[in-house]
Structure 1
């Protein structure tokens, strides 16, 4: 194993259990880390999101799980974070498959079980140096690529994200060089966020349209339309100060306003054909405005393929639930089983990292 030099590496530990936090700090100091900051709660570490981000962050998931995962998501996705590519290790006393899923979904690099030996901590740090995954960027995710295979219809490139931990530990660090790498990578993330937001909004519209045409629009379609405004807002705040973004802004504001109108109408009855057509037209106009160099037909095909893939997964889930209920002779509540309803998971996000 290479003899890494951690004398330039900075770390932060967020852990409400004082003893556990001190143990991790002592291990990192013995490894030779230059500076290790210890925070006893997430809100005390909020300054990291706007100050000089450390190269490695250890975050406890047990004391304040909601706040911990919100912090990680903000670190990865907020435009103002100086280094959204910092290594993140989540720590816990009670690892579960659900916790691992949450770590993955917010962009964490690893999950470490407490109590951890000095060797286990060092092995995880070395893993971040030697074998860290490339990053993927979607409308609402930035982080290591954990896909076993790309989602159907998804055209999400893998970004070779700057790894300041590796640069420092291997003696390749220079302040100016690292800043250049970070600036270039952040610019690439910003561009991808805009592009993926355009695709995501079109996906939500295309998925919702059949349900909105029903005499009584279904809940899932209404919820998908309700998510459009959030993605539009995120796209708008990622527009830089350079260039003429007036066409994007005009379409985005019109689309957000119409989505609100459509959602309100769908809560009490059918949505008019004119509104549905206009919603689709504006979503495609937004894709074209955000990514004028790519043929609209190609983007429409990507969205259509993703919607078809998502509908297929919903059908598989419904069939599995129906088969399980039929095998027990009951539904999930213990009542006699009935024909499965057209139910599914929470509103989709395209495509997940």
Structure 2
């Protein structure tokens, strides 16, 4: 391991199995970490989100799976967290495919399988120092960039998030240096959250539009506009308190009211097509208000491209599901030894292929 100095680094370990937590603590102590706090539950560790966020957090995913992932998501996404970019390693005894997906989607940096050796812990800590991924910010995700290929629409910018673990371990730490870096990065996250939330709202409105305009509104369309309120609420709590974006607040609240109205009227079987058109118009106005320096045409094309890609993926999934059901419904192949017609040009009879 390179000659890193961990004497200024703080860590927290959240694990209901205290014997396992002590193993991690002993490894970090031998690496000369300055302070290592142990918590036997997420609830006990909730104070880490309001003051004194450490440079490294190890979180067990087995004992309190749902609570652990809610904690990680909140730490990465909630306004007011002192250091939402802290190193986060999830630990587990059972790395199921479902767990791997949750780790990737919640914003954690890495996954560490138990039982662990001191060497494995050190390697993961060093990886956070030397090879940490840049952060991406979307409407509902903040964390390491997990993308393996470009997505539809405009590319989300990647943030070189402040890494206090690296800064302390390499002797580059000082409060005077970190404060402006952290403030700038958090301001970037807030701005991107507003932008991505407005784009997500426009996406939901455009995707739902055809289904809302049918004689009977499609359940999928209603479900999609039902998600609009959550993104609006998140956008609103990220607006500055000085009133400089009061016009954005006004439009955002109008979008939420109209989405709620459409859902309520759908339950009564009467949706006004003018309201559907107005929802799309207002959602685009919200995008423009949040990001006035960007062309509305460019943003609208980004949304349309994303909607088209999403529809195509849904269609592919439906086709794959139908094909799988067809295979399940097909008659079984002929039993061994059953006669089958010879294949043209073949010297012997071949088994007959079963119908798809």
Structure 1's unaligned 5+ residue stretches are: 331-353
Aligned counterparts of 2:85 and 2:77: Cα–Cα separation in 1: 10
Aligned to 2:157: 157
Q: Is the 8 A contact 1:16 1:63 kept in 2?
A: yes
Q: Name the SS for the 1:2 alignment partner.
A: coil
Q: Is the 8 A contact 1:217 1:267 kept in 2?
A: no
Q: Is the 8 A contact 1:201 1:232 kept in 2?
A: yes
Q: Name the SS for the 2:313 alignment partner.
A: helix
Count of residue pairs the alignment pairs up: 330
Structure 2's unaligned 5+ residue stretches are: 331-356
Aligned to 1:348: none
Once the two structures are superposed, what CA deviation does each residue of 1:83-106 show, in whole Å capped at 9, x if it has no partner?
Answer: 000000000000011101101111
Once the two structures are superposed, what CA deviation does each residue of 1:234-262 show, in whole Å capped at 9, x if it has no partner?
Answer: 10100122452111011011111111000
Aligned counterparts of 2:271 and 2:56: Cα–Cα separation in 1: 50
Q: Name the SS for the 2:286 alignment partner.
A: helix
Aligned counterparts of 1:136 and 1:108: Cα–Cα separation in 2: 12
Aligned pairs for 1:185-334 (under 5 A) are 185-242=185-242, 244-329=244-329
Aligned counterparts of 1:150 and 1:136: Cα–Cα separation in 2: 13
Q: Name the SS for the 1:216 alignment partner.
A: coil
Aligned to 1:48: 48
Question: By how many angstroms is 1:266 displaced?
Answer: 2.0
Aligned to 1:28: 28
Q: Is the 8 A contact 1:222 1:267 kept in 2?
A: no
Q: Is the 8 A contact 1:85 1:163 kept in 2?
A: yes
Measured on the aligned residues, the alpha-carbon RMSD in Å equals: 1.0
- Inter-CA distance 312–74: structure 2 relative to 1 (3 Å threshold): same
Q: Is the 8 A contact 1:162 1:181 kept in 2?
A: yes
Q: Is the 8 A contact 1:15 1:63 kept in 2?
A: yes
Q: Is the 8 A contact 1:214 1:270 kept in 2?
A: no
Question: By how many angstroms is 1:189 displaced?
Answer: 0.3
Aligned counterparts of 2:40 and 2:115: Cα–Cα separation in 1: 18
Aligned to 1:344: none
Aligned counterparts of 2:48 and 2:274: Cα–Cα separation in 1: 48
Once the two structures are superposed, what CA deviation does each residue of 1:83-135 show, in whole Å capped at 9, x if it has no partner?
Answer: 00000000000001110110111100111100100000000000111101000
TM-score using structure 1 length: 0.92
Question: By how many angstroms is 1:150 displaced?
Answer: 2.3
Aligned to 1:13: 13
Aligned counterparts of 1:10 and 1:267: Cα–Cα separation in 2: 53
Aligned to 1:61: 61
Q: Name the SS for the 2:119 alignment partner.
A: helix
